Amino acid sequence: MNVITDSILVLENGLILRDPSTSEPERHERTLISGDTITAVNSNKLIDLTPGQVIDCSDCLIMPGLVNCHVHSAMSLFRGLADDLPLRTWLEEFIFPCEARHVSQEMVLLGSTLSAIEMALSGVTTFADAYFFMEAAAHAAINVGLRAVIAQGVVDFPTPDARTPGSWKDRAFQFFESVPSRSTITPALFCHSPYLCGTDTYLEAAEICRSHDTKLFSHVAETFTEVQQVRSKYNVTPVEFLNSSGVLDDSFVAVHCVHLTARDREILRDARVGIVHCPESNMKLASGSPRIKDLLEVGLTVGLGTDGAASNNNLDLFEEMRSASLLAKLVSNDPEAVSAGEALTMATIGGARVLGLDHMIGTLDPGKQADIIIVDLRQPHLEPLYNPISQLVYCARGSDVRDVIVAGRQIVRNRRLCSPGYDDFRKLALDFATQIATDTGKKLFLT
Amino acid sequence: MNVITDSILVLENGLILRDPSTSEPERHERTLISGDTITAVNSNKLIDLTPGQVIDCSDCLIMPGLVNCHVHSAMSLFRGLADDLPLRTWLEEFIFPCEARHVSQEMVLLGSTLSAIEMALSGVTTFADAYFFMEAAAHAAINVGLRAVIAQGVVDFPTPDARTPGSWKDRAFQFFESVPSRSTITPALFCHSPYLCGTDTYLEAAEICRSHDTKLFSHVAETFTEVQQVRSKYNVTPVEFLNSSGVLDDSFVAVHCVHLTARDREILRDARVGIVHCPESNMKLASGSPRIKDLLEVGLTVGLGTDGAASNNNLDLFEEMRSASLLAKLVSNDPEAVSAGEALTMATIGGARVLGLDHMIGTLDPGKQADIIIVDLRQPHLEPLYNPISQLVYCARGSDVRDVIVAGRQIVRNRRLCSPGYDDFRKLALDFATQIATDTGKKLFLT
């Protein structure tokens, strides 16, 4: 019988899934968390416990927290503002003018906090964010208690936080210096796309990221129009353009990858680039469907992203797993493509690998960070339970997540934030949304 | 000031959406239900009320209940038993043997009850069911309190409840006589498909349905294989086969319609056949994607179905709306295809029209049946609320439904069944699932 200290948290009972890429759910006895770290997984050792240290997981599945590899979290403030529109109208008449007018430190803090709350409540424990004023996004992640990779946006034209052309580099250095330093926050950069960033920008951004030992994210081959633009400008595919720019290696994260050639896939695989798949955004904007089955078959590492709430419109990674699997089956004409286990892998350890965090998160192993979700399986839409992994991917919803622990700290309990944050914060966010509504001639309901 | 009787139920506050096909959400004052009927919609008349008669809908949207136009509800007992398999393996090695061994009056009662509970909790107020032993499915609908169209299954080979070839007709007559007679239950027939039912069977089934003034459902053109089989046998498309059999008219409901020619669409439109679209099932089984944009453009009436839980795997019509819209945008290469409003129309009044129930349900109008759901909009993933219809389709989940009223009777309150049914019933369903697990060499978790 061991005596344990106050900083220990114990999960008891239920089922546990240690690693979606290799293991099956097991009957669970006891998992120990000490500080921010998992110290024992499914142990049957008896220990002395004091009240409040034990979470009963009966009827639940304990599993690694979900990893959202691509989101523009501030954009939740634009959710539902402009849907069912052609891409160009959506961008040029709504999103760009809205961004020009409203993006600020305050907007990013409010929008990112709303998104972080939504993600926490639906089982995301790590998100990779890409936008402007990203110190504010880091604060949002810290306030809600999530782990995050925070990528400051880079484009070749003036932005709300780098108002002269070329000033993005000063802004990037400033960002790396001013972003809050926490073990749960990884600063990074995000070059928007090969049509908004030139060779020099990509190369300089890649150098800054390598010198900071972090990732460079970029949208790549999202639309057919992008492929045409890059072809007409450089006479190569977007992937070939990036490759010839010398930026593709294992610190590069390529988001979307809808329109790739077989040669593109080989280039990405050989350079060990991480891929992020955002199925619902690609469908909603009619961008097309990446061949995820082919990407996995050539050996690429793939994570899942929700993209921003302006093009999804929610940040529920359970839905994204399901859509990834269903879409792959449809476009491959193969009901075996992207199985439930493969989708769950992408949403956990696959995503952790893409973000370079797989030594810390993505599976439940002693020594790893305690980023854990507890999913309530005793519900009519999840029964009978012949196959928990199938049920998670094909049936479960974000609202089935009962408890969320990040770095050993419980941030969601019984489907509610442990901090009183949401109601206090909500009024501020809705005041801001009211301004957006007024400016765009829309109405805000239920204010 | 009116004095009201005990049988009156009053909804107060929040927003109301009367008719998803024509109206926008309005600020709501008071809606009155007398017995099973809506008597006043968004009235500002003052009335005397006694406690218990008023449901406060602040922060919620009041809207017509969802209509699930195609489900095999007993099959929830097979949920997750066999996923990620080729269609033939799935059918021949798992589903057909399982059905041969386990389908019984008891199995249909238990599986359909589980499905009815799941549907009620996610905002479905009417479902159209198709399977065997359908008296039991009717009892399940009545027990849970849902409205249902209950279609007894017909095929040209022996079934669990019609064990000799050709005995389906006696079984059908027996079904029409023995199905419980309630205003909320409509008996009907379901011919499985043009590859499992011949011309005579379709014609006789259609005659029985016409004489009972009800619908004949059938899977139509679900897979490319079906189209090939029908072509090789009859030298026509499945729709042409049905048309030449003389069964296509406004009492016919064609489910799936994945592989249609332009001529097929015209035939269906001219015959005023109702169409049911099951996007997630079509994707998961890699059947293909119907051209819903084209179907709507030629003027066909389309409803949404979840299909059974063995091929979806949940019965959440919010998800199905989202998938219908996203899939249409993808396959039409058009982000304007199947707008949020069109998806919501298919899931409500469109489905009601397909089922021939639009004089009773599908919109909130005085004189119609009080089939109403109350959706909780004050949640992080549904804010800010610039566009409630967009939010319902692109962001909401079944679990956002707070209250459900069918025929004036509240069956879900604060996300729980009003009757104590689920826990009592659960043990019986899981005992049955244990037998299925044992027979198929699977394990049942969390029993």
pLDDT in tens, B79-93: 999 999 987 888 888
Instruction: Examine residue A443 and state whether it is found in any structural domain, yes or no.
Output: no
B293/chain A closest Cα distance in angstroms: 13
Q: Looking at residue B265, what DSSP letter applies? A: H
Give the CA radius of gyration of chain A.
Answer: 21
CA separation (Å) from A119 to A62, A113, B9?
A: 18, 10, 37
A368 pLDDT more than 70:
yes
Position B447 in a domain: no
Is A326 within 8 Å of A299 (Cβ atoms)?
Answer: no
Identify whether the C-beta of residue B255 lies closer than 8 Å to the C-beta of residue B217: yes
Mark yes or no for CB contact A15/B335 under 8 Å: no
**Contact call for B283 and A446, based on CB within 8 A:** no
**Residue of A84, A399, A439, A447 to mutate when probing chain B, most B C-beta within 10 A:** A84
Task: Give pLDDT, residue A88.
Answer: 80
Instruction: Give Cα B141 distance to the centre of its chain.
Output: 12
Contact: B80, A386; criterion CB under 8 Å: yes
Distance from the Cα of B239 to chain A's closest Cα (Å) equals: 23
Q: How confident is the model at residue A1 (pLDDT cuts 50, 70, 90)?
A: very low
Q: Give the model confidence (pLDDT) of A301-314 as tens digits.
A: 999 999 999 999 99
> The CATH number of the domain where B168 resides is what?
3.20.20.140
pLDDT digits (tens, 9 = 90+) for A403-440: 999 999 999 999 999 987 778 888 899 999 999 999 99
In this predicted structure, what is the pLDDT of residue B6?
55
**pLDDT of A218-238, one tens digit each?**
999 999 999 999 999 999 999
Q: Per the domain annotation, does A421 fall within a domain?
A: no
Residue A15, pLDDT > 60, answer: yes
User: Quick one: pLDDT band at residue A355, thresholds 50, 70, 90?
Assistant: very high
Facing A286 at nearest CB: one of B90, B335, B390: B335
User: Of the ranges A123-132, A400-409, B5-14, B248-257, which one carries the lowest mean pLDDT score?
Assistant: B5-14
To test the contact with chain A by mutation, choose from B307, B386, B390 the residue with the greatest count of A C-beta atoms within 10 A, namely B386
Domain for residue A431, yes or no?
A: no
Look at residue B9 and give its three-state secondary structure: strand
Q: Which of A25, A117, A326 lies at the smallest CB-CB distance from B380? A: A117
Query: Which residue, among B305, B309, B302, has the nearest Cα to B275 in the 3D structure?
Result: B302
Q: Which residues are CB-contacts of A418 (< 8 A; sequence separation ≥ 6)?
A: A145, A410, A411, A412
CATH number of the domain where residue A34 is located: 2.30.40.10
Q: Which domain holds residue B392?
A: 2-62+374-414
Note whether B316 contacts A381, CB cutoff 8 Å. yes
pLDDT class for B2, splitting at 50, 70, 90? very low
Give chain A's end-to-end CA distance (angstroms, integer): 55
Chain B residue numbers with beta carbons less than 8 Å from the beta carbon of A398 are: 381, 397
Shared-domain flag, residues B143 and B180: yes
Report the percentage of chain A scoring pLDDT > 70: 98
pLDDT of residue A6: 55
Cα radius of gyration (chain B): 21
- Please give, one letter per residue, the 3-state secondary structure of B339-351: CHHHHHHHHHHHH
Q: How far is B185 from chain A (nearest CA, A)?
A: 23
For residue B253, give both structure tokens: 């409901």
CB A68 within 8 A of CB A124: yes
Report d(CA A320, CA A384) in Å as an integer: 23
Choose the weakest-confidence range: A152-166, A332-346, A366-380: A152-166
Confidence of residue B49 (pLDDT cuts 50, 70, 90): confident
- Which chain B residue has its CA at the smallest distance from A431's CA? B384
- The whole-angstrom separation of Cα A146 and Cα A127 is 8
Are residues B304 and B178 both part of a single domain? yes
Q: How does the average pLDDT of chain B come out, rounded?
A: 95
The answer to whether the CB atoms of B339 and A83 lie below 8 A apart is yes
Q: Where are the beta strands (DSSP E) in B192-271?
A: 216-220, 252-256
Give the model's pLDDT for residue A432. 96
3-state helix/strand/coil string of A284-325 = HCCCCCCCHHHHHHCCCEEEECCCCCCCCCCCCHHHHHHHHH
Residues in B touching A280 (Cβ below 8 Å): 322, 326
Residues 6+ apart with CB under 8 A from B328: B292, B293, B334, B337, B338
Same-domain status, A109 and A229: yes
Residues B249, B145 share a domain? yes
Distance of alpha carbon B76 from alpha carbon B98, whole angstroms? 13
Cβ of B329 within 8 Å of Cβ of A85? The answer is: no
Q: How many degrees, rounded to 5, is the angle at CA B194 between CA B188 and CA B195? A: 125
CA distance A41 to A53: 16
- Cα–Cα distance, A358 to A352 (Å, whole number): 5
Distance CA(B111)–CA(B436), nearest Å, equals 12
Please report residues of A whose CB lies closer than 8 A to that of B293: none
* Inside any domain, residue B179: yes
**CA-to-CA distance for A239 and A226, rounded, in angstroms?**
11
Same domain, A84 and A218: yes
Contact assignment for B118 to A381 by CB distance below 8 Å: yes
Indicate whether A377 and A237 sit together in one domain: no
Contacts of A244 (CB under 8 A, 6+ apart): A236
What per-residue confidence (pLDDT) applies to A424? 80
Distance CA A260, CA A242 (A): 13
Looking at the DSSP bridge assignments, the partners of residue A54 are A10
Query: Between B14, B80, B397, which is nearest A390 by CB?
Result: B80
Beta-carbon separation of A313 and B79 below 8 A: no
* Higher-confidence position of B62 and A87: B62
Distance, in Å, from the CA atom of A295 to the CA atom of A277, rounded to the nearest integer, reads: 10
- Chain B residues with CB under 8 Å of A400 CB are 399
Q: Do the Cβ atoms of A330 and B288 come closer than 8 Å?
A: yes
Is residue B424 one of the residues assigned to a domain? no
Compute the nearest-CA separation of B306 from chain A (Å): 12
First to last CA, chain B: 55
Residues A262 and A289 in one domain: yes
| pLDDT (mean) for B354-383 | 97
Cis amide linkage into residue A384, ω under 30° from 0:
yes
Pairing mode, strands B2-3 and B47-48 = parallel
Distance from CA of B311 to the nearest CA of A (A): 9
CB pairs under 8 A between A and B: 233
Residue B95 DSSP one-character state: I
Q: Which two tokens stand for residue B348?
A: 């409500």
Among A311, A329, A354, which residue terminates a domain? A354
pLDDT band of residue B426 (cuts 50, 70, 90) is confident
Q: Identify the three-state secondary structure at position A39.
A: strand
Strand, coil or helix: B286: coil
pLDDT for the residue B273:
98
Q: Do A339 and B397 touch (CB under 8 A)?
A: no
Query: CA quadruple B327, B331, B336, B339: dihedral positive or negative?
Result: negative
Structurally, how many domains does chain B consist of? Answer: 2
Cα separation of A432 and A429, whole Å?
5
Task: Judge: A286–B339 Cβ closer than 8 Å, yes or no.
Answer: no
Nearest CB neighbour to B314, from listed A59, A381, A430: A381
From B77's Cα to the closest Cα of chain A, the distance in A is 6
Residues in chain A: 447
Residues A117 and A208 in one domain: yes
- In a domain, residue A437? The reply is no
Q: How many CA atoms lie within 13 A of B112 on its CB side?
A: 33
Question: What six digits make up the tokens of A155?
Answer: 């484009």
Contact A326 B323 (CB under 8 A): yes
> How distant is the Cα of A141 from the closest Cα of chain B, in angstroms?
15
pLDDT value, residue B1: 42
Residue B346 has pLDDT above 80, yes or no: yes
How far away is chain A from the Cα of B412, in angstroms, using its nearest Cα? 14
Q: Which residues contact A444 (CB under 8 A, 6 or more apart)?
A: A430, A433, A434, A437, B384, B385, B386
Cβ-contact A137, A131 below 8 angstroms: yes
Model pLDDT for residues A244-296, shown as the tens digit of each residue: 999 999 999 999 999 999 999 999 999 999 999 999 999 999 999 999 999 99
pLDDT band at B50 (very low <50, low <70, confident <90, very high): confident
In the three-class reduction of DSSP (H, G, I as helix; E, B as strand; rest coil), residue A239 is classed as helix
Question: Is B426 inside a domain boundary?
Answer: no
Q: Do A255 and A376 fall into the same domain?
A: no
Substitution target in A385, A401, A427 with the highest count of B β-carbons within 10 Å is A385
Is the pLDDT reported for residue A5 higher than 70? no
Q: What is the structure's pLDDT at A119?
A: 98
DSSP one-letter code for A91: I
**Distance in angstroms (rounded) separating the CA atoms of residues B19 and B38:** 14
- If pLDDT is split at 50, 70 and 90, which confidence band does B343 have? very high
Look up the pTM and report it.
0.97
Assign B243 to helix, strand or coil: helix
- Contact yes or no for B21/B345 (Cβ under 8 A): yes
Closest CB to A59: pick one of B25, B397, B446.
B446
Q: Do A151 and A109 have their domain in common? A: yes
Mutate to test the interface with B, among A75, A306, A313, A338 (most CBs of B within 10 A): A313
Chain A residues inside the 8 Å CB shell of B121: 380-381
% of chain B surpassing 70 pLDDT: 98
Average pLDDT, integer, range B209-214 = 97
- The residues pairing with A416 across neighbouring beta strands, listed in sequence order, are A413
B117 plus B243 within the same structural domain: yes
pLDDT bin (cut points 50, 70, 90) of residue B188 is: very high
Domain match, B258 and B272 both: yes
| Cα distance between residue B253 and residue A369, in whole Å | 54
Element spanning B3, H or E: strand B2-3
Cα separation, A67 vs A21, whole angstroms: 14
